Structure 1
Amino acid sequence: MAQSVLHHVRIAGVASCVPKNSVSNLDCPPEQLSMRERLVRNIGIASRRQSPAGLCFSDLAQHAAEKLMADLGWARDEIDALVVVTQSPDYPYPGSAVILQDRMGLSNSCLAFDINLGCSGYPYGLYVAGSMISAGKLKKALLLVGDKSTNPNSQDQGFAVLFSDAGTATALEYDESAPPAYFDLYSDGSGYKAIYCPAGGNRNPLLPEYLEAKPGEDGVIRRQVDIVLDGPAILNFSTSRVPPAVESLLTQAGMQKEDIQWYLFHQANRMINETIRKKLALPPERVPSTLYDFGNTSSASIPLTLTVHAREAISQGSQRLLMSGFGVGLSWASCIVDIGPAAVPALIEV
């Protein structure tokens, strides 16, 4: 296990941005309605946010970052680092962080780079950005996390009803008096085919036939450039790996479950999240969800859930959070952080 403790790092604020366009999972032909209703009950997702053509993850993240910097009163030349966690870059290369450094008017001395991670990306991103600040040289950093995951052209209806778009920004700064932050991070690449896109990279370069929808080995009709989801494998991975990882992190931090005010989990689907909650014997009121209204927002789901449900509490005073992300990789990561009072703007819609 990769357990670590970061000192002198304060989360100064969190902002989240989603597209205005809300798509109902019950908006379907009448003959499909009963099936969709059962699906919504099982996955717990009634609607999702879908970006219009031309709106990228980087645009959503920039809106969140600009609002957060304004609320904090941070000058652009104060930002020492810009870390972007996404699987939805504007281009295959260069990375979105470098492009955003220029678009946001940040200094040329601001280091900027991307991390290619999905559902576990928020704790991983906090650890990477926090480690640079904890070392004592960098004073302020922005962590931009999220994805444009919706795909109107996907032939896989299971995929279509799950995913949603969101971009988030987290501001971190050096603070001698900040309480320690505890991290526990894992990876298991042997399960990478549980969540992956078969074509479009160097292993299987994009060819015309990969754009044709055909039945796969699982019988689902999809293109080779569409995501493949092995539902049973993901369910087994999430519900078997995450609870012991959370228990291990609590032990590492010398804390009891009652010491945590908010448990913020990646929003995968209702079945997975409820199984994790029940295995950990956590009360529902401490485990908020954004699945019903926003769906699975990939790496943005944890800060989005924080914005929607914990905003008022964090704005008013210190709150202890246990945050846990899990999924594509396969990878999973958890952290315990104290945050607040901090800047948490109301949810931004564009």
Structure 2
Amino acid sequence: MNSYISAVSIYLPENKLTNENLNDEFPEWSAEKISTKTGIFERRISSDDQFVSDLAIQAAQNLFKEHSIDKNKIDFVLLCTQSPDYFLPTTACIVQDKLGLPTSCGALDFNLGCSGFVYGLALANGLIAGGTAKNILLITSETYTKFINKEDKSNRTIFGDAAAACLISSDASSGSIGKFIFGTDGAGAENLIVKNGAVRFPERNAINVYSDNVFESNDNNLYMNGQEIFKFTTASVPVLVQDCLTKNELSLDDIDLFIFHQANKFMLDYIRRKINIPIDKFFMHFENIGNTVSSTIPIAMSEALKTKKIIKGSKVLIAGFGVGYSYGATVLEF
């Protein structure tokens, strides 16, 4: 049995962090310098009392309302997050209850970041193909900004919070999901990590590390080795894209639009040029949102649908890559 993307909706927190706000805190970083470096002008930030389940519920409610979806037909919830409300219970169970979904509904969390949406599609595809479910609510929800030290100006310029919700179903009237390519290189795990807080390093006390009055690290918070992430991405993504095209028996010219994980402008421009993707086929949408981790692809896809960059019959190659290291790609036909 084939699976299809029937609808997508998003939720963005109201709070904003602009480049001007960051410049006020870090005078050495002008607003123009930040936008030139990242392509980002503002980010959405979850409030102190807003957590992953709250964002997820808002995105799902938007999905039901905007697309006239009967929530009683949902028979599985897949929630991708790396900042769950609790170690246990599963945040997906909380979302199921607060959304008023049937108790006959399956629900699980899976811990992935920038590749998470692609992995979620594959999980949903498998559940439908196996006859386990017919209408799956796939949610990506992240509050990475709660992991970032307030002195870490580098990561604060990049990340924002958001959630996206998709209906993946066996209804053939919507966009079909193609074959998948995945990859993992756990050797890069420590290059994007929140080290403290789980079972291996439960201690939450850590000392801020500075060098020449510049913040470097704190094991309680998000650490990212930008140079290593860039090296991994620029080496792996071109191969990932080519393998995905080959598996789906397509060429670069057959694809109408490419939507990659929306990391930052510099990285995406570099990858686009390396793969020789025409600029008019390469979609970017993060200027006023920031890098929202697993939600970047569905948010960009939602915007591309609204602006008619994706129309009936469009073939769209999506690729996620990052923390793990983990990467994945597939082709969607709308």
Q: What's 1:20 paired with? A: 14
Q: What's 2:170 paired with? A: 174
Deviation at 1:257, TM superposition (A): 1.4
Are 2:152 and 1:156 aligned? yes
Q: Spell out the pairing of 1:225-264 with structure 2 (5 A cutoff).
A: 225-264=220-259
Name the CA distance, whole Å, in 1 between partners of 2:167 and 2:282.
23
Name the CA distance, whole Å, in 2 between partners of 1:93 and 1:254.
42
RMSD value, Cα: 2.2
Are 2:41 and 1:58 aligned? no
Q: What's 1:200 paired with? A: 197
Name the CA distance, whole Å, in 1 between partners of 2:77 and 2:166.
10
Name the CA distance, whole Å, in 1 between partners of 2:253 and 2:281.
10
Q: What's 1:8 paired with? A: 2
CA distance change for structure 1 residues 315 and 239 in 2, over 3 Å: closer, same or farther?
Answer: closer
Contact 1:154 1:222 in 2 (8 A): no
Deviation at 1:124, TM superposition (A): 0.4
Q: What's 1:294 paired with? A: 289
Contact 1:119 1:299 in 2 (8 A): yes
CA deviation map 1:28-56 (0-9, x unaligned) = 23872555532331221121111112112
Question: Structure 1 length normalisation: TM-score?
Answer: 0.88
Q: What amino acid does structure 2 have at the position aligned with 1:264?
A: I
Q: What's 1:146 paired with? A: 141
How high is the sequence identity, in percent, across the aligned residues? 31
Q: What's 1:79 paired with? A: 74
Question: Structure 2 length normalisation: TM-score?
Answer: 0.92
Name the CA distance, whole Å, in 2 between partners of 1:116 and 1:322.
23
Name the CA distance, whole Å, in 1 between partners of 2:275 and 2:302.
24
Contact 2:185 2:324 in 1 (8 A): yes
Contact 1:14 1:171 in 2 (8 A): yes
CA distance change for structure 1 residues 70 and 34 in 2, over 3 Å: closer, same or farther?
Answer: closer
Which stretch shifts more, 150-159 or 81-90? 150-159
CA deviation map 1:144-185 (0-9, x unaligned) = 013112247432111111100110001011136775511101
Q: What amino acid does structure 1 have at the position aligned with 2:182?
A: L
Name the CA distance, whole Å, in 1 between partners of 2:283 and 2:310.
17
Deviation at 1:205, TM superposition (A): 0.8
CA deviation map 1:315-345 (0-9, x unaligned) = 8623221110100000001111113xxxxxx
Name the CA distance, whole Å, in 1 between partners of 2:131 and 2:182.
22
Name the CA distance, whole Å, in 1 between partners of 2:239 and 2:25.
43
CA distance change for structure 1 residues 167 and 86 in 2, over 3 Å: closer, same or farther?
Answer: same
Name the CA distance, whole Å, in 2 between partners of 1:214 and 1:246.
38
Deviation at 1:203, TM superposition (A): 1.0
Contact 2:5 2:177 in 1 (8 A): no
Contact 2:183 2:328 in 1 (8 A): yes
Deviation at 1:94, TM superposition (A): 0.9
Contact 1:195 1:329 in 2 (8 A): yes
CA deviation map 1:227-257 (0-9, x unaligned) = 1111110000001000111011101111111
Are 2:187 and 1:190 aligned? yes
Unaligned ranges ≥5, structure 2: none
Q: What's 1:274 paired with? A: 269
Q: Say which structure, 1 or 2, has more relative contact order (CA 8 Å, 6+ apart).
A: 1
Unaligned ranges ≥5, structure 1: 1-6, 340-350
